[in-house]
Structure 1
Amino acid sequence: MKATTGIYSGYIRPFSRIIDLIIIIFFTAYFSGMPVFQDYYAFFISCAWFVIAANLGFYEVYRYTKVIAILNCTLKQAAIYTVCCFAIAYFYHERYSLIAILLFTSVSIIVILGFKLFIYFFLRKFRILFGGNSRRVVLIGKHGSVKPLKCFFEENPDYGYKLVEAFDLNYQKTDYFKTIFSFILDNNIDEIYCSMHDLSSKQVEECILFADNNLKTLKFIPSKKQLLSLNTVFEYYDYIPVISQRKISLDDSLHKGIKRVFDIVFSLIIILGILSWLIPILGIIIKLDSKGPLFFAQKRNGLNNKEFICFKFRSMGINELAHVDQASKNDTRITRVGKFIRKTSIDELPQFFNVLFGNMSVVGPRPHMVKHTNMYAERIDKFMVRHLIKPGITGLAQTKGFRGEIETDKDIINRVRYDIFYIEKWSILLDLKIIFNTVYNALKGDQKAY
């Protein structure tokens, strides 16, 4: 699980990509002598650059990444990109010479590398001088186990880790972990580092549950003899191995950008193609069926547990329990029109406006009423993990039969299990599969759609 980034941290990689694109386009125009808008070659080699970068992880530079790793990745990027530029130039041989392409690729990559290293070292200085772009951390383990990482944090302030406290398990007291957890909450700690060798299985489980339920980043320091789960991620701070509890695919800015573009395009298609004519028709029908507004607006919990207003077509008569109690089977509050639009999931369509506004995604964990979020957060372990990404109109859990009313704790536990799987294994193909299954289930008829 990653910590919430600072106010500007999320813009660093997109900004780097934009600058790189400008550099590529500029030097293409400079060495070709043609305006960019008349040159398809610039478009193709720009696409090639980002496709190669995505596969090599060219923009996956973290605060603990070594310069040698950046140079190594750049060398691979340069080699593959140069070959692609020559291959694409085959179709434009009358315009580009071998010398011009070599000059273009060499100059472009040198400038891009220079800019990349400038940002890297600027951020390191920025963290030392102004304390910005930093993470507040604690260590948990015996002195000998955590000492190397403690020294690393103290001797390398340019990495941006502020060690607030090191809890020595050599002097463990009764309910020591409760004291640690209270300290973490009271001091706004971002990341927790635990020595796996010094913790019992029960203590490891306690740390995981605490981190999940409070949206804290949890990482483990392994001993040399310990084996790792397939879901864990190795990272190195200097030469010290650290294990991250889980890797969230949508923490990657490229993946996040792809999903956002898809959300915007898909929501606009639904809004313009369906809701533009459906809203006036349903507006008349719903008004004739019962008194009240066309839309039902309700506060729900979204990304990072922030509240937002979720829209639906109103399917119930006006009642005081609308924001408290879920709809149940044969619920007398549901109107005649409401039964139809709920059965067909038409009542959820206004949430595409939420998607367009950025409160929701087309696919993601379904958002709950504020009251239910607070209730399940206390009762169900890992429930809060669902709020690490934007909520969705539909989700993996809904396509697996866990939609609608939550009748027992088993329903919400399974929903959380599928939501966590989605968070860790997201891909655009998975989104498309979920959308297809959602439409199929709606046409077929879902037993829990009421």
Structure 2
Amino acid sequence: MAAASDEAWIHDSRDWGRTDRLPSRGFYDRLKRAFDLFGSALLALVFAPVMVCIVLAVRRSGGPVFFPHERVGLNGRSFRCYKFRTMVPNAEERLKELLNSDDALAAEWQEIRKLRDDPRITPIGRFLRKTSLDELPQVWNVIRGDMSLVGPRPIVRDELRMYGRNLGTYLGSKPGLTGLWQVTGRSDACYRRRVAMDVYYSRNKGLLLDLSILVKTVRVVVTGNGAY
């Protein structure tokens, strides 16, 4: 019942606006899809040996290798977003315990939906997050068409209400493997700023902006700024 209610709320154009009000970008969308397929296939090929090593390392820490998580995609459609597991297997239960027992952590989670010094992260997981290698399995999401190489952040359903009247704009773009958030502060950015960056991208997306973000992503990944 709750899920059905959420779906109706997402697509209520009277309150939140319609995604089809965004300007049509037919040629750009076709070109972007072709680039997504080429780029994700290239990433999978180049990083195949690295991914094999990560699989072996994560498996040694116990628990599943991959962490599939429900995210919201284009037009409000849910999909399973894949990452290498970076936390202890019972991470969700552990999070509830932490937030219930520590008011400071609860406030931090409320503000940015992350914990800067998250005790749930494993040693190998901390390295994967710092280098952004935990995101590599999302090339499969890009190939499937759930995501794009560049786009807004893939968010969980509970975060949708944070977008207010900008929700229709956000839902008009596929989530990205990288995006403005990743190249301008990442986890250091407050949630309001994240929303502003997602909305800006959705309204101004284009080939030059995508290429600029991809170039900046390389620099951010190398320096590890804002990753935790």
Q: TM-score, normalised by structure 2?
A: 0.80
Is the contact between residue 383 and residue 416 of structure 1 (CA under 8 Å) also seen in structure 2?
Answer: no
SS in 2 for 1:312: strand
Residue correspondence of structure 1 range 14-413 to structure 2 within 5 A: 210=15, 213-215=16-18, 247-248=22-23, 251-274=24-47, 276-288=48-60, 290-321=61-92, 326-373=113-160, 375-377=161-163, 380-401=164-185, 403-404=186-187, 411-413=190-192
Rate the CA distance shift 1:393–1:216 in 2: closer, same or farther, 3 A.
closer
CA distance in 2, matches of 1:294, 1:216: 36
Rate the CA distance shift 1:263–1:341 in 2: closer, same or farther, 3 A.
same
Given residue 171 of structure 2, which amino acid in structure 1 is its aligned partner?
H
CA distance in 1, matches of 2:75, 2:167: 12
C-alpha RMSD of matched pairs (Å) = 2.6
CA distance in 2, matches of 1:412, 1:404: 9
Q: CA deviation at 1:358?
A: 0.2
For 1:135, the equivalent position in structure 2 comes to none
SS in 2 for 1:297: strand
CA distance in 1, matches of 2:184, 2:175: 17
Is the contact between residue 22 and residue 172 of structure 2 (CA under 8 Å) also seen in structure 1?
Answer: no
Given residue 278 of structure 1, which amino acid in structure 2 is its aligned partner?
V
SS in 2 for 1:300: strand
Instruction: Pick 1 or 2: higher relative contact order, CA cutoff 8 A, min separation 6.
Output: 2
Rate the CA distance shift 1:216–1:267 in 2: closer, same or farther, 3 A.
closer
Identity %: 35
Given residue 37 of structure 2, which amino acid in structure 1 is its aligned partner?
I
For 2:216, the equivalent position in structure 1 comes to 437
CA distance in 2, matches of 1:310, 1:393: 10
CA distance in 2, matches of 1:429, 1:441: 18
Gaps of 5+ in 2: 1-7, 97-108
CA distance in 1, matches of 2:12, 2:39: 38
Report the count of equivalent residues: 204
Given residue 152 of structure 2, which amino acid in structure 1 is its aligned partner?
P
SS in 1 for 2:153: coil
- Residues 196-227 of structure 1 show CA distances to partners (whole Å, capped at 9, x for unaligned) of xxxxxxxxxxx8xx3xx24366xxxxxxxxxx
Q: Kindly report structure 1 stretches of 4+ aligned residues shifted beyond 6 Å.
A: 322-325
Q: TM-score, normalised by structure 1?
A: 0.42
Given residue 449 of structure 1, which amino acid in structure 2 is its aligned partner?
A
Q: Which has the larger radius of gyration?
A: 1
Given residue 294 of structure 1, which amino acid in structure 2 is its aligned partner?
V
Is the contact between residue 267 and residue 352 of structure 1 (CA under 8 Å) also seen in structure 2?
Answer: yes
